């Protein structure tokens, strides 16, 4: 059963990561890209969790805790220094 | 971990499999929301799903699969720090998005921040006249995003 679950979640998370990367590529503003990169980080954390659950080890646990502690610093920094440089303010 | 799987093992495996699939679907939902929603605020709404509920479900599935009690505090620490730090970044991104007008005003049902911003701007204008110095707009630009009064 675990092999089926691993396959299904791998497909789902690959599609999700592809969607987040598309939003990073096309996202009209900097804040959209920051938000999409946050989602990509959450998806990577989800893959780490699923790897631990399916293969029954705890090698990624410290990485996961570190991600949840310091993962917000990047988006906070970018949001702190963002400026509005758009030609048409409502195009988002 | 037992040599022969019991009925309890089967049930726990099934529950953790459901948790894993649902947690992965949360990520997919966030990606679809990021692609389809019209502006930054609604995309932020979609982006919180895998960060909180998705991570919770997947950490619970890890705990169920490992069948040891001492991993639960570590998983709990991971989730608690996620819950503590995600609102900080969401607050900063949302504040910056409001200030730089990354929103469609016609999609809002109510804008409770507008009155606060207007009040702070009026106060700033009055202060500028009293001091007789700088133009209020110039001050606002100088203060930049650190200005808490206008964006509380």
CA pair distance B139, B42, nearest whole angstrom: 31
Q: Which of residues 20-49 of A touch B (CB under 8 A)?
A: 20, 22-23, 29, 31-32, 34-36, 38-39, 42-43, 45-46, 49
Which pLDDT belongs to residue A84? Answer: 67
ipTM: 0.87
Mean pLDDT, chain A, whole residue set: 88
* Phi, psi angle pair for A86, to nearest 5°: -85, 155
A46-59: average pLDDT:
92
Which pLDDT belongs to residue B151? Answer: 42
* Phi, psi angle pair for A82, to nearest 5°: -75, 145
Q: Which of residues 106-125 of B touch A (CB under 8 A)?
A: none
CA pair distance B125, A16, nearest whole angstrom: 47
Total number of domains in chain B: 2
B12 found inside a domain: yes
B43 found inside a domain: yes
Q: What angle do CA B44, B76, A11 make, to 5 degrees?
A: 55
Compute CA distances A92 → B39, B108, B110, whole Å.
6, 15, 19
- Quick one: B72 and B120 in the same domain? no
- Quick one: B67 and B117 in the same domain? no
Q: What angle do CA B89, B37, A64 make, to 5 degrees?
A: 35
Domain that includes residue B146, residue range = 112-151
Q: How do residues B29-75 score in pLDDT, each as one tens digit?
A: 999 999 999 888 889 999 888 899 999 999 999 999 998 889 999 99
* Option in B28, B34, B55 nearest A23 (CB): B34
- Quick one: B17 and B71 in the same domain? yes
Spell out the alpha helix ranges (H) of B67-103.
71-99
CA pair distance A51, B66, nearest whole angstrom: 12
CA pair distance B94, B20, nearest whole angstrom: 30
- Quick one: B12 and B80 in the same domain? yes
- Quick one: B81 and B15 in the same domain? yes
- Quick one: B75 and B119 in the same domain? no
B103 found inside a domain: no
Gap from B129 CA to chain A (nearest CA, Å): 27
Which pLDDT belongs to residue B132? Answer: 65
- Quick one: B71 and B116 in the same domain? no
B90 found inside a domain: no
Residue A6 has pLDDT above 90, yes or no: yes
Residue B150 has pLDDT above 50, yes or no: no
Give A91's contacts in chain B (Cβ within 8 Å): none
Which pLDDT belongs to residue A13? Answer: 95
Cβ–Cβ gap A76/B145 under 8 Å: no
B99 found inside a domain: no
- Quick one: B68 and B120 in the same domain? no
Q: How do residues A15-27 score in pLDDT, each as one tens digit?
A: 999 999 999 999 7
Residue B143 has pLDDT above 90, yes or no: no
- Quick one: B116 and B60 in the same domain? no
B109-136: average pLDDT:
78
Mean pLDDT, chain B, whole residue set: 82
- Quick one: B15 and B78 in the same domain? yes
């Amino acid at each position: 059963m675990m092999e089926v679950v691993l396959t299904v979640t791998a497909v789902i998370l690959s599609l999700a990561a592809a969607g987040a990367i598309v939003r990073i590529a096309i996202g009209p503003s900097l804040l959209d890209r920051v938000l999409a990169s946050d989602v990509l980080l959450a998806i990577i954390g989800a893959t780490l969790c699923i790897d631990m659950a399916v293969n029954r080890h705890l090698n990624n646990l410290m990485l996961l805790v570190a991600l949840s502690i310091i993962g917000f610093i990047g988006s906070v920094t970018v949001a702190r220094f963002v400026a509005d440089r758009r030609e048409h303010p409502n195009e988002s | 971990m037992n040599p022969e799987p019991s009925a309890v093992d089967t049930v726990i495996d099934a529950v953790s499999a459901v948790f894993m699939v649902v947690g992965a679907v949360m990520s997919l939902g966030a990606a679809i929301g990021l692609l389809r929603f019209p502006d930054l605020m609604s995309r932020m709404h979609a982006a919180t799903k895998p960060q909180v509920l998705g991570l919770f479900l997947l950490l619970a599935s890890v705990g169920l699969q490992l069948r040891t009690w001492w991993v639960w505090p570590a998983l709990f620490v991971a989730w608690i720090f996620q819950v503590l730090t995600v609102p900080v970044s969401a607050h900063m991104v949302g504040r910056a998005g409001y200030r730089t007008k990354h929103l469609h005003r016609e999609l809002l049902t109510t804008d409770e921040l507008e009155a606060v911003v207007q009040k702070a701007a009026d106060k700033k204008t009055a202060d500028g006249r009293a001091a007789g110095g700088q133009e209020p707009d110039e001050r606002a630009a100088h203060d930049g995003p650190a200005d808490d009064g206008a964006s509380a």
